[in-house]
Amino acid sequence: MDFGRLITAMVTPFDKEGEIDWDAVSSLVDYLIEEQKSEGLVVCGTTGESPTLSDEEKLQMFSFVLEKAAGRCKVIAGTGSFNTKHTIELTQKAEKIGVDAALLVVPYYNKPNQEGLYRHFAAIAAETKLPLILYNVPGRTGICMSADTTIRLAQIPNIVATKECASLDHVALIVSGTPQDFHVYSGDDSSALPAMAVGGHGIISVASHIEGVRMTAMISAYFSGNVQLAGQLHRELFPVFKGLFECPQPLPSPSAVKYALELRGIKVGSVRLPLTPPNEAEAEFIRKLVL
């Protein structure tokens, strides 16, 4: 299955009481598809504040976004966790809802070895017919899934893609060692173009909430052979790519992008604890970045 080149890791809108704002979710889905040209939406991933969402909230989000998207883009459910049994159960429930795929993060905190990682993902794949996208993000999980383990997992028919945040070396090695229809997505906006240059298929993005149109232009330019234009667009976008995570000091996603959306008039509310909204200096930095 092709999920497209530009997938947005969608934020979860909250109201002033910290509950899911369903009217805002509806508007955000339309905005991301129609205005920012997202070809897919990851629902309840890291950027969607998955650690603070209950299973009930996640299932409600999967169902709501799927119905609202109405076939206009792929809907990918974030069902991964550090608990294999729990991940299987949530993935099966997402499958019954009808999502297009599931995104499975590398287990965090308990730090399994490479064999444990393989068995974790293989066990999930055996219990669902959904297409599965792996998600390797060492900066958050505390461990790195090796390229060899990803290549081994790619032999399982319904493991069809990976979101890679480790390094360009990982992207290149995985592309070289996996079937042609196994897609490697960059999980780091600032590495999107370099990742495509070594064989990556596209980007699962945070910045596409506010720069999806120009990111689509960059991707289209690269794959149409206009590398010069793609490079120019990458350089223009780079301050946004970096600034949303380093404004002016590291700020956990999605605090910055939620504030940026609010500045653009897109109602998504703030973040749930333990995340915090931007402080005064960070807010001023983001204003200068996106306005």
Distance CA 121, CA 237 (A): 34
The closest alpha carbon to 215, from 197, 225, 202, 226, belongs to: 202
**Would you say 165 and 188 are in contact if contact means Cβ atoms under 8 Å apart?**
yes
Question: Is 47 within any annotated ligand binding site?
Answer: yes
Residue tagged active-site, from 37, 58, 68, 163: 163
In terms of C-beta distances under 8 Å and separation of at least 24 residues, what long-range contacts does 58-67 make, across chains too? 58/90, 59/90, 59/93, 59/94, 59/97, 60/20, 61/12, 61/20, 61/25, 62/94, 62/97, 62/99, 63/97, 64/22, 64/25, 64/26, 65/10, 65/25, 65/29, 65/41, 66/97, 66/98, 66/99
> Which residues 6+ apart lie within 8 Å of 70 measured at CB?
none
Active site residue 163: yes
Question: Is 204 within any annotated ligand binding site?
Answer: yes
Active site residue 85: no
Residue tagged active-site, from 31, 118, 135, 259: 135
- List, as residue ranges, the binding site: 47, 204
> Annotated active-site positions, please?
135, 163
